[in-house]
Amino acid sequence: MVFALFTDILIIFTIALFVGLIFSHLKVPPLVAYILTGVIVGPYGFSIIQGQEEVKNLAEIGIILLLFTIGLEFSFKDLWKIRLIAIVGGAIQVGLSFAFFCGLALLLDLPAGEAILLGFLFSLSSTAIVLKILHEKGEMDSPHGSIALGILIFQDLMAVPMIMAIPFLASLSLFDPSPLLSAESLVTLVLQDLMIVLVLVVSAKWIIPRVMHEIARTRNQEFFLLFVILVCFGVAWVVSFSGISIAIGALFAGLLISGSEFSHQASSIVLPFRDIFTSFFFISVGMLVDFRFLLANFWITVFLIVLAIVVKALLATAAPLILGYPLRTSLMTGLALAQVGEFSFIIAQSGFITGILPFETYQTFLVVALITMAMTPFIIGIGPPVAGWLCEIPAFSLIARGTCSTEDTSSRNVKKDHLVIIGYGVTGRNLVRTARRSGIVYTIIELNPDLVMEVRKQGESVIFGDATTEGVLSHAGILTARIAVVAINDPVAVRKIVNTCRSLSPDLIIIVRTRYVSEVEALYATGADEVIAEEFETSVEIFSVVLNKYFVPRDRIESFITDVRADGYQMLRSSSNIPGTLTDLVRHIPEVSITTLTVESGSPLAGITLGEINLRKRHNLLVLAIRRGEEIITNIGGEIRIEAGDSAIIYAKPEDVTKGTYLFTRQKNKK
């Protein structure tokens, strides 16, 4: 039996790897590859796997570890930072989606329990897929990325009560409207849940951190791993006695550790196991998909897929719009959330097992969910052009402008020769402080309404709106401004802003901060005058420190930095264009060093030529260059006369430098 299970696992991994490689080239998430693997090996495919029950058991372990790591990674501090969009925006999105799909199911005369469960399923989106795509595109810190993250966090939290509600939905019937619970059983349930919460709080605050601290002191990774697994499955097992599923118990177990300093270590240990076992869950889901059912109901399934994507995108767009975000940001958020989530598979499987979902509905949902998830990369990819096209339509111009109710009245005063700062992040704040101290007049453009209100209370001149639109830029006085600095984290929006600014004001100086050097050439081509790439500016700072430690003169370092920035960091991007430097010489001849010595007034060298003193022959000191005020003398010959105040750049062994230092210093006994 063990050999048969081993064979099945080997077959599953082989097919999953092959399918995953193909999907990787198509930019389709691995999760979809796992589901398709299940379709291939399952009973509705080629029936390759016989031990389906064993695969389901491995899948349950995957779900337990998945929810456990979600609990580990959950941070109340992070949620508090985006509390408005996470709580209010998430509630709007989940509420609207649930109301639509549940109401649609009731209109189709489906039972109440089934309708509510369908509302649950289609109100959730895929955290794993969306965050992975946004991370790969470098848009996690963009406005729509932050909004999507907040809503996804709320959805993940709401998945917990949704899963817990399944046993109660199973007892619902359209023809039996009797109450689900008696008053006595309801009180018992509440008291039971409160007791569990109390035990978890006490354990999280006092017991588990102390035990983990003692285990960590042993510096034994095996003990630490055993304890983490014990907490995960132990807490899940104890919580299951209250009627809550083991998977939710694992989530509670993760929350117990999340507040301690050991949460990151625990997460890094469990993560590889989670990824392996979670793949079995999606493979097991794929085993349940019957594509013959899809072919038999092709057009109705296509209609439901289109309906799900369009409706979810529109309702997810409505949430940030209601909170006052611009149309472009809201649209890109809505398109990012226009798929069914991985938690929906867990809820659907539980609903199918408990009899809430009939086989036909379950099969339809699996196919619809699978295809919406597979289409996510393409839907997110068309977000910028679709949002840009809609924002150009006159009917949407007022929404796109985003300044109708929150505009800064102080900015209506006509400004000239001022600075426009687009984005009030870390860079924007620092620039504002510098401009204020220097007496430079400035205007800020920001599309986070909470941040706008906060900054406006501080007396700053700030405009709320999407800087990709001409209306917002004109309102900020871009036509009369001298400089515009773009400091936001949305690469697509940055290019759009630069292009719009350049078309509105050809003489405007546009300075752009970008996180990735791959954007530099495109931004210059779009119309930017200066592009500062954070990715290489860090490298510039590091190598300037390194060169300084090798006693390379500061003017040479500054010249090198200027050369690097002048050609768009091409010197750092292409090793073939990098010439040999003094640091290369020092590295290959480590017994010598480069030192800068200043010639003091009254020293033996002051007033004589290099030929007269012959430093190289008499003292083993080679003069590479001489700095005299702002002048750098590099053509060194015996006729060069050394003057007091000169800085001589010396190449020699450290001991020879020590012996010859007296030649550069003032002789006190000299008359």
| pLDDT for the residue numbered 408 | 42
Domain-embedded: residue 1? no
Q: Same structural domain for residues 368 and 495?
A: no
Cα 425 versus chain centre, distance: 15
| pLDDT for the residue numbered 498 | 93
| pLDDT for the residue numbered 572 | 56
Q: Same structural domain for residues 286 and 330?
A: yes
Residue 457, token pair as written in the block: 């209370």
CA distances from 238 to 68, 199, 666 (A): 15, 11, 82
Q: Same structural domain for residues 649 and 603?
A: yes
Q: How many residues does the chain have?
A: 671
Residue 153, token pair as written in the block: 């966090």
| pLDDT for the residue numbered 588 | 52
Domain boundary among the residues 585, 620, 650 is at 585
Cβ neighbours of residue 241 closer than 8 Å, sequence gap 6 or more: none
Q: Could you list the residue range(s) of the whole structural domain that residue 616 is in? A: 591-663
Q: Which residues, in sequence order, are bridge partners of residue 247?
A: none
| pLDDT for the residue numbered 640 | 86
Q: Same structural domain for residues 219 and 255?
A: yes
Lookup result for tokens 């750049």: 649
Which stretches does DSSP call E strand in 520-657? 530-533, 593-598, 622-628, 631-633, 647-652
CB 440 within 8 A of CB 419: yes
The three-class DSSP label of residue 174 is coil
Q: Same structural domain for residues 560 and 519?
A: no
Domain-embedded: residue 210? yes
Q: Same structural domain for residues 507 and 618?
A: no
Q: Same structural domain for residues 453 and 570?
A: no
Q: What is the CATH number of the domain that holds 74?
A: 1.20.1530.20
Q: Same structural domain for residues 196 and 162?
A: yes
Q: Which residues, in sequence order, are bridge partners of residue 271?
A: none
Residue 31, token pair as written in the block: 């999760």
Report phi then psi at 178, rounded to 5.
-65, 155
* 99: enclosing H helix or E strand: helix 90-107
CA distances from 574 to 168, 185, 545, 578 (A): 63, 72, 21, 7
In three-state form (DSSP H/G/I as H, E/B as E, the rest C), the secondary structure along 225-292 is HHHHHHHHHHHHHHHHCCCCCHHHHHHHHHHHHHCCCCHHHHHHHHHHHHHHHHHHHHHHHHHCCCHH
Domain-embedded: residue 545? yes
Cβ neighbours of residue 40 closer than 8 Å, sequence gap 6 or more: 15, 19, 46, 48, 286
CB 280 within 8 A of CB 65: no
Domain-embedded: residue 312? yes
Lookup result for tokens 């689900």: 180
| pLDDT for the residue numbered 381 | 83
Cβ neighbours of residue 207 closer than 8 Å, sequence gap 6 or more: none
Q: Mark 257-273 as b/e (b = at least 16 C-beta within 10 Å).
A: bbbbebbebbbebbeeb
| pLDDT for the residue numbered 315 | 93
CB 660 within 8 A of CB 613: no
Give me the average pLDDT of each 10-residue run along the chain (671 residues).
74 86 78 82 78 69 74 63 79 94 93 92 86 73 81 83 82 48 57 72 77 81 84 81 70 75 74 74 78 82 93 92 84 91 86 88 88 85 79 59 41 70 88 86 85 84 83 86 89 88 91 82 88 75 76 73 64 50 54 81 86 83 85 83 88 84 76 44
| Residues 492, 421: Cα–Cα separation, whole Å | 18
Q: Same structural domain for residues 474 and 334?
A: no
Q: Which of 521, 513, 553 is nearest to 537 (CA)?
A: 513
Per the structure, the count of domains in the chain is 4
Q: Same structural domain for residues 438 and 491?
A: yes
